[in-house]
Amino acid sequence: MRILFIMLTITLVTLVGCATTTKDGTQTLPAAGPSCCKAIGPSSRRAAIVRTAAKLVGAKTIESNGRRIAYDCAGVTRAIFLEHGIDLYDGGTANPKANGVRLIYNHVRRHGKFHQGPAVRPGDLVFFDNTWDSNGDGFINDPLTHVGVVERQESDGTVIFISRVAGAIARYRMNLALPRVHKTTDGRILNDYIRRKDIGDPPTTGYLTGLLFAGFGTRV
């Protein structure tokens, strides 16, 4: 199988160092410093999955084995694993309108395992809740609304994952140690926005990746 894609240019931001707190309570990361999170190297199969995901960064359409794949977060994640002989929808409902994220979650429940970190391996799946009001009731009660593929984990614990959130497939960041911090004082991003702000959102609504994180899944 081959995944065909149209590439666009994106900007990469690299996060390094360990988090510290200034006197005024703001968070900052030094430009360099000792590693605070031991990296876990990927197996050859995981490395291949991550390479496939990285090649899709910037893609606007996806095809697998000559068939157009749904261009949403679940479809993109499924296409990445299909390239390596794993159908993350396998065993799920045949309903074409089924929640793809939930199909992937159920697949991992049957064939893999879940964990909460803090150590994360390339090729892990990352799940999120409440990234949009999927049931349309105006409440924050929407589990399993987004999924992505972990590319790597930085030394400060920041997880870099690949997913389709808005206009194209891109890299996003999440730091579970500082889930409420979007950007450090020196301008580095720890947690990307993954939920669009809406005037009708309740005051307790979270928008950053670290706040909406649900769990990691291991399939390979």
Question: How many other CB atoms are there within 10 angstroms of residue 23's CB atom?
Answer: 5
Query: Is residue 181's pLDDT more than 60?
Result: yes
Using DSSP, state whether 4 is helix, strand or coil. Answer: strand
**Residue pLDDT, tens place only, 99-110:** 899 999 999 999
Quick one: what percent of the chain has pLDDT higher than 90?
Answer: 60
d(CA 211, CA 162): 18
pTM of the model: 0.80
- The pLDDT score that the predictor gives to residue 62 is 80
Query: Is residue 29's pLDDT more than 70?
Result: no
Dihedral angle sign, alpha carbons of residues 138, 140, 146, 150 = positive
**Residue pLDDT, tens place only, 66-91:** 767 778 999 999 999 999 999 999 87
User: 53 is written with which tokens?
Assistant: 């995901």
Strands 125-128 and 146-153: antiparallel
d(CA 76, CA 54): 12
Question: Which one has a higher pLDDT value, 34 or 42?
Answer: 42
DSSP sequence for 79-129: HHHHTTT--TTTTS---TTS-HHHHHHHHHHHHSEEE--SS--TT-EEEES
**Residue pLDDT, tens place only, 141-172:** 999 999 999 999 999 999 999 999 877 899 99
d(CA 119, CA 2): 31
Domains of the chain (ranges; CATH) run: 3-218 (3.90.1720.10)
Question: Which one has a higher pLDDT value, 38 or 142?
Answer: 142
Query: Is residue 51's pLDDT more than 70?
Result: yes
